[in-house]
Amino acid sequence: MQITNQIHFRNWQGDLFGGLTAAVVALPMALAFGIASGAGAAAGLWGAVLVGFFAALFGGAPTLISEPTGPMTVIVTAVITELVARDSENGLAMAFTVVMMAGIFQILFGLLKLGKYITMLPYNVISGFMSGIGIILILLQIGPFLGEAPPKGGALVVLQNLPTLIANLNPWETALGTITLIILFCYPRSWKKFVPPQLTALVVGTAIALIFLKGVDIRTIGMIGEIKPGLPNFQMPTFTMDNLRLMFVNSIVLGVIGCIDCLLTCVVADSLTRTEHDSNKELIGQGIANLITGLCGGIAGSGATTPTVVNIQAGARTALAGIVRALILLVVVLWAAPLTMGIPLTVLAAIILKVGFNIIDWSFLQRVHKISWKAAGIVYSVVLLTVLVDLMVAVGVGVFIANILTIERLDELQSHSVKAITDDDDQIMLNDSEKQILDLANGRVLLFHLSGPMIFGVAKAIAREHNAISNYDVLIMDLGEVPVLGVTSSLAIENAIQEAVDLGREVIVVGAAGKVKHRLEKLGIAGLIPGDHWMGDRLTALQAGLAFVREKQGYPSEPLPQLGDNPKVDLDLG
């Protein structure tokens, strides 16, 4: 596998302009997400620089722009809050260690080639999960938007303290945040081609605070921590045995959410560029980026939709754009960081509020109940679990319920493909010779016909159909139209065969080949059935079954009648 992205200069103008535009979009978002996470504005900026640079260098989606995102910030915020509450001295260092561990897990996911499985989630689960994250972002920024420090805890704590937050709001900061929101929501579409709305809102909001609200007490970035020019402080991996399990779980959650967030954005990039990304390589690139970011004290990131779209629309086509963007932000961090000290926190909160609003899947939420009330129930359940309980619990419960409903539908459909017949009743397509043999057998041959994938939900239908008919001499198990045989269904077939053998009946297996036959042999079914009872076609099996019936009924020497074009032979076997 190629280690780094293909970078060439054939499209250098488009990549240069795309990187510059993406950097302009990234600056306010990096500051906002850094502040929101609790790690500080500097951590947000370094996250944008390092995640963007190394993901572009090692990833598998050339036009993807990676940086701190809403979903990742929600996880990082929860991790920092919990670890600092447990250990005020080492909590932040342990949070950066969680970012490193998440990067290692992402690298493992890529090496194990799990990329194609990461996004194999039902859309109603993804929609509910992302909408829940959007709501969490909004709730967590209500305090800063109103001019107050957010309550320590998650979204549920904010909801509990909402009346107090509203009662104690700072009118000047709330007004400034409202102006910022108005700019973001009412920004003319035609202006977006020249200046991104986030940057306009940041500049206008800061200008209003510096020019018109000089004597007003408005909280700014400088009041909660200085961004020092220069290289970041190296963060050694830090953990305690008491917190190791929590850190391990949180790193898996952060890594998985980053993978989902990133690969969904890759799909958007593919649709715009008409290319196809390498998902496993992208996961490795994201893992390397987050590992290095954690070591340098930056917050975790993943592929971000807005800057990726802006990057592509500006003409970028290779990873050179992502590298240019990271280098431009690096210049800002190294030399221009002090200029950000006067940015009001309420302006940054308003920018994240708009991000949260955009993440909510309004279009699908408005229509899902028209599609299916079951789908709507899954979506809203995942939203509530995401906001009120836990992100991974929400995804796990949503996927479980969605899969159970899917299996129920597949089971209902596949159950109709399990047929147990003793005569010609048009349930399955038989040729004239096969129909004639079943008629001649006079109900003594049971043809057990299976078709389609035999998933575990079909096992009950196999048992039900087999038990419905008890008076027969020969069981023919027709597997010629079964491409996949699950373990549970294999055991149900084994039970049917074992029961027939125990009752002294002849058993013939037809059409079992490849993986299906291998599965039956591994279960030991081959030991129950003689080798000449494994046959390749149904007509031969039916002829052999009729011969067994005739032998049992006392007609051992009489030859089989000529079948097919000749008239039926009425042979009383009763």
pLDDT in tens, 465-515: 777 777 888 999 888 888 888 888 888 888 888 888 888 889 999 988 888
Residues 268, 35 contacting (CB under 8 angstroms): no
Query: What angle (nearest 5°) sits at the alpha carbon of residue 29, between those of residues 27 and 31?
Result: 70
Q: Which domain holds residue 228?
A: 12-361
Domain identity same for 137 and 233: yes
In this structure, are 334 and 436 located in the same domain? Answer: no
Amino acid letter, 65? I
62 in a structural domain: yes
Predicted pLDDT at 559: 54
* Core vs surface per residue 375-409: b (16+ CB within 10 A) or e: bbbbbbbbbebbbbeebbebbebbbebbeebeeee
Q: Which residues is 450 bridged to in the sheet?
A: 418
For residue 454, the 8-state DSSP code is B
Contacts of 129 (CB under 8 A, 6+ apart): 382, 386, 391, 394, 395, 398
Residue 333 structure tokens: 């961090």
Tens of pLDDT, residues 102-146:
999 999 999 999 888 876 778 888 888 889 988 998 998 899 999
What CATH number should be reported for the domain holding residue 468? 3.30.750.24
Q: Is residue 396 part of a domain?
A: no
- 183, β-bridge pairs: none
Residue 438 domain-assigned (yes or no):
yes
Strands 506-510 and 474-481: parallel
Residue with tokens 């998985």: 256
pLDDT of residue 424: 61
Query: Do 300 and 433 share a domain, yes or no?
Result: no
Q: What are the tens digits of pLDDT across the range 90-110? A: 999 999 999 999 999 999 999
**Do the domain assignments include residue 146?**
yes
pLDDT at 574: 38
If asked whether residues 431 and 499 sit together in one domain, one would say: yes
* Rounded CA separation 56/285 (Å): 8
Flag whether pLDDT at 536 surpasses 90.
Answer: no
pLDDT class of 570 with cuts at 50, 70, 90: very low
Residue 57 has a CB neighbour count (10 Å cut-off) of 18
Closest by Cα among 406, 396, 390, 99 to 239: 99
* Residue that wins the pLDDT comparison between 85 and 149: 85
In a domain, 443, yes or no: yes
Mean pLDDT calculated for residue range 17-44:
90
DSSP per-residue codes, 59-114 = -S-TT--EE--HHHHHHHHHHHHHHHHH-TTTHHHHHHHHHHHHHHHHHHHHHTT-
User: Helix 12-37 and helix 305-313: axis angle, to 10°?
Assistant: 160
* Mean pLDDT (whole number) for 216-226: 82
What is the model's pLDDT at position 569? 42
Give me the pLDDT at residue 310, please: 86
Give the residue ranges of DSSP H helices in 168-304.
171-186, 197-211, 221-224, 241-273, 279-295
Pairing of strands 66-67, 302-303: antiparallel
- Give yes or no: residues 348 and 423 share one domain: no
pLDDT digit string, tens, across residues 44-78? 999 999 999 999 999 999 999 999 998 899 999 99
Task: With a cut of 80, say whether residue 553 has pLDDT above it.
Answer: no
What average pLDDT does the chain have? 85
Judgement on whether residues 458 and 350 belong to the same structural domain of the protein: no
Structural domains counted in the chain: 2
Query: Both 357 and 421 in a single domain?
Result: no
The pair phi, psi for residue 450, each rounded to 5°, is -115, 145
Q: Is residue 495 domain-shared with residue 355, that is, in the same domain? A: no
Give the model's pLDDT for residue 561. 53
CA 2 to chain CA mean position, Å: 25
Q: Evaluate whether residue 382 is within a structural domain.
A: no
Residues of the chain with pLDDT > 90, as a percent, come to: 32
Q: What is the pLDDT of residue 418?
A: 76
Q: What percent of the chain has pLDDT over 70?
A: 93
Report the pLDDT value the prediction gives residue 413, as an integer from 0 to 100: 67
Is 149 contained in some domain?
yes
Comparing CA positions, the residue from 376, 348, 364 lying closest to residue 130 is 364
Q: Is residue 178 classed as helix, strand or coil in its secondary structure?
A: helix
pLDDT band of residue 571 (cuts 50, 70, 90) is: very low
Higher pLDDT, 65 or 1: 65
**Residue 384 falls within a domain, yes or no?**
no
pLDDT at 397 over 60: yes
Domain end position, chosen among 342, 361, 380: 361
